[in-house]
A and B are shown apart, each in its own frame.
Chain A
Amino acid sequence: MVAAPAAEGSPLRVREVSKSFPNQDNAAARTHAIDRISLDVGASELISFLGPSGCGKSTLLRLITGLDAPDSGELWVGAEPITAPSAERGLVFQDPNLFPWLTVRGNIQAGLVARGVLHEKRGEVDEFMRLVGLESFANAFPHHLSGGMAQRVALARALINHPKVLLLDEPLGALDAFTRMRMQDEVLRLWQARRTTMLLVTHDIDEAIYMSDRIVLMTPRPGRIERILTVELARPRQRNSPEFLRLRGDILELLHFAGAEEKAEGGRRKAED
């Protein structure tokens, strides 16, 4: 069975983390991507990061993967400090970034090959292909796949290592609206089956409300946490329930997108819904 008996997720601790990059126009100045961010994520929690571009969502995710090191501050997964990338923290980008030279099967088992455990765990490859519904595409190359299928492969590729934390950097951003909604259910299903701790970066408010336990609102320049909202709605959530829409309105207001004219238009759109 793919569904793990116990929760696979680990809690995540972020303490006073800052990261800046050299400014492209002015070598002396630095852009502060994120500034003294602290956050606790519970084991098996699904938490989203929401905010306009430039608020440091993706930077924070890269720090958690260990691909980049923070200027200051500390990050922990369980009791382990994060110092380098590891198979314990999976990553899925907006672009599926499948290895085009490998088939669907080759991509999904890449993590096992990389860790040198393919021989013992070969059976899991088929399980994960079934889990994401791609068993009949095992020998197809990525350029034959649709966007949704490719992203499912990317999810399976990240999950096969049984990561304690799965980092999703706008994974559904490039999909059309309908595929996207279907994939949101798919990700939720995987999350419920595996109880992996998931961090989801998105700029789609509906997606954040539909999926997360908590929503971290971020503001740009420098990237800071504005507020953390807990989504109390029971799953499966209704995208058009009054509570859902109310929360959506609150978030728009907190992000300062509910200006005078925009408020009126937002109200009209709500009425149309």
Chain B
Amino acid sequence: MNAAPAAPTQIAAAPNAATPAVAPLPERLPWKTLLALPLATALALAVHFFIARKEPAEAGFTGLSDFMPWVESRAYLLLLGTVLLTSLGVVAVQKIWLGLRQWMRGMCPILAAAFVLLSAWEVITTGLQLLPMPYFPGPAAVLQSMVNDRAMIFDSTWHSLLLLIGGYALGVVSGVVTGVCIGWFEPARYWGMPVLKVVGPIPATAWIPLALVVSPNAMFSATALIALAVWFPVTMLTSSGISNTRASYLDVARTLGASRSYLIFRVAIPAAMPNIFIGLFMGLGASFLTLVVAETVGVKSGLGWYLSWAQGWAEYGKVYGALVIMAAFFSTIMTVLFRVRDRVLVWQKGTIKW
């Protein structure tokens, strides 16, 4: 019954030689895959119980904490418990839900590994206290400080997002425009290329001292710095993509009656698209770096600011919390760009996977 829906995916994948062959989905997943996640979360839970019980109740708490020493770290416990219950539920549901089974086959091993790592982290830090405190809190403490500080973290993420979108959009638009000009028009290339080659490689963060002096507004200068960081790779890759447009595409278009605007917008720019996207990815990486530095130095909001603020108070739980949020934040944005790329470049034969 389950084999039948699996068959069409196989057939659909077959004509496209570029797609790597996907192994056929088995009727049932091996027990190892099914139970990896529940076992790993159970392990993390056991480790947590054992370590939390061993830990002396903190002073200043009522007697209640003697009975329930895990109340202080209920966030971590709640997380582990939810994951354990969900994973057990998923094991039951996958019998009738094909898409879920496919997802589980890919995700279960890596998720299980993540929870094993969490338990190891807890053993090393809170359990055996091998690493100096307060620099290395355990996972429970980190999660707890994230939960306690959620309003501030949300606010910081929101500000970072606004700053990033503003700077990135400005950098991409100006980068594509200058890139197309330099790539297509000979005078623009002659005058623009030397500027690009000399000024471009300066890391955007190196302009910070100047930006602090010149600009009255920290937000404005941070946007400009991020835009500058994005502008250079986007311009470079766009102009090289435009100027390397296959001459025969342009020849064919001319014999089809193409005007100059058709040659630029319908031939050269689409032909340069794969290159432009490389520039967009490079620019995105540069924009993350510039964002964090700019927020640490000038802007009084955002994840970068939150990170250095927490470090100033020696609240390392919050420092790790900020890192976790940054990881999620940046990789989500990266994924979005990859999705856009996959949409725009559907016509390409082989594309790099994210």
From known contacts A114-B257, A161-B257, infer whether A99 and B251 are also in contact, taking CB-CB under 8 Å.
no
| Among A89, A97, A111, contact of B249 (Cβ-Cβ < 8 Å) | A97
Complex formed: what's the CA distance from A87 to B347 in Å? 26
Complex formed: what's the CA distance from A101 to B249 in Å? 11
Contact assessment for B259 and A100 in the assembled complex, using a CB-CB cutoff below 8 Å: no
Q: Which residue of A lies closest to B257 (CB)?
A: A87
Contact assessment for A114 and B258 in the assembled complex, using a CB-CB cutoff below 8 Å: yes
Complex formed: what's the CA distance from A95 to B267 in Å? 17
A110 at interface, CB cutoff 8 A: yes
Query: Chain A residues near B347 (CB, 8 Å)?
Result: 100-103, 141-143
From known contacts A99-B267, A143-B349, infer whether A114 and B262 are also in contact, taking CB-CB under 8 Å.
yes
Cβ of B33 to closest chain A Cβ, rounded Å: 34
Number of interface residues of B (CB under 8 A): 25
The B-contacting residues of A in range 69-119, CB under 8 angstroms, are 85-87, 89-91, 93, 95, 97, 99-103, 110-111, 113-115
A215 at interface, CB cutoff 8 A: no
Complex formed: what's the CA distance from A24 to B258 in Å? 31
Contact assessment for A85 and B255 in the assembled complex, using a CB-CB cutoff below 8 Å: yes
Cβ of B225 to closest chain A Cβ, rounded Å: 34
Contact assessment for A65 and B248 in the assembled complex, using a CB-CB cutoff below 8 Å: no
B346 at interface, CB cutoff 8 A: yes
A157 at interface, CB cutoff 8 A: yes
Complex formed: what's the CA distance from A161 to B270 in Å? 22
B120 at interface, CB cutoff 8 A: no
From known contacts A114-B262, A143-B349, A161-B257, infer whether A91 and B251 are also in contact, taking CB-CB under 8 Å.
yes
Complex formed: what's the CA distance from A102 to B253 in Å? 13
Q: Mark B229-264, 1 if CB is under 8 A from A, else 0.
A: 000000000000000001011011111111100100
The A-contacting residues of B in range 141-193, CB under 8 angstroms, are none
Query: Chain B residues near A102 (CB, 8 Å)?
Result: 270, 347
Contact assessment for A67 and B266 in the assembled complex, using a CB-CB cutoff below 8 Å: no
Contact assessment for B266 and A114 in the assembled complex, using a CB-CB cutoff below 8 Å: yes
Contact assessment for B256 and A99 in the assembled complex, using a CB-CB cutoff below 8 Å: no
What are 22 of the A-B contact pairs (CB < 8 Å)? A65-B251, A85-B254, A87-B255, A87-B257, A91-B255, A97-B248, A97-B251, A100-B347, A101-B271, A101-B273, A110-B253, A110-B266, A114-B258, A114-B259, A114-B262, A115-B256, A141-B347, A142-B347, A144-B15, A144-B16, A157-B256, A161-B256
Query: Chain B residues near A17 (CB, 8 Å)?
Result: none
From known contacts A101-B271, A102-B347, infer whether A113 and B251 are also in contact, taking CB-CB under 8 Å.
no
B62 at interface, CB cutoff 8 A: no
A155 at interface, CB cutoff 8 A: no
Query: Chain A residues near B270 (CB, 8 Å)?
Result: 99, 101-102
Contact assessment for A67 and B273 in the assembled complex, using a CB-CB cutoff below 8 Å: no
Contact assessment for A111 and B348 in the assembled complex, using a CB-CB cutoff below 8 Å: no
Complex formed: what's the CA distance from A110 to B348 in Å? 19
A158 at interface, CB cutoff 8 A: yes
Q: Which residue of A lies closest to B248 (CB)?
A: A97
Query: Chain A residues near B258 (CB, 8 Å)?
Result: 114
Q: Which residue of B lies closest to A89 (CB)?
A: B255
| Among A93, A111, A144, contact of B257 (Cβ-Cβ < 8 Å) | A111
Query: Chain A residues near B267 (CB, 8 Å)?
Result: 99
Query: Chain A residues near B253 (CB, 8 Å)?
Result: 110, 114
Q: Name 13 extra pairs, CB < 8 A, besides A97-B251, A101-B270, A110-B266.
A: A67-B251, A85-B254, A86-B257, A89-B255, A91-B251, A91-B252, A91-B255, A93-B252, A110-B253, A113-B262, A114-B253, A114-B256, A142-B347
Contact assessment for B349 and A158 in the assembled complex, using a CB-CB cutoff below 8 Å: no
Query: Chain B residues near A89 (CB, 8 Å)?
Result: 255
Smallest CB-CB A-B distances: 3 pairs: A87-B257, A85-B254, A111-B256
Complex formed: what's the CA distance from A20 to B236 in Å? 35
Q: Which residue of B lies closest to A167 (CB)?
A: B255
Query: Chain B residues near A86 (CB, 8 Å)?
Result: 255, 257
Complex formed: what's the CA distance from A97 to B349 in Å? 15
Contact assessment for A93 and B255 in the assembled complex, using a CB-CB cutoff below 8 Å: no
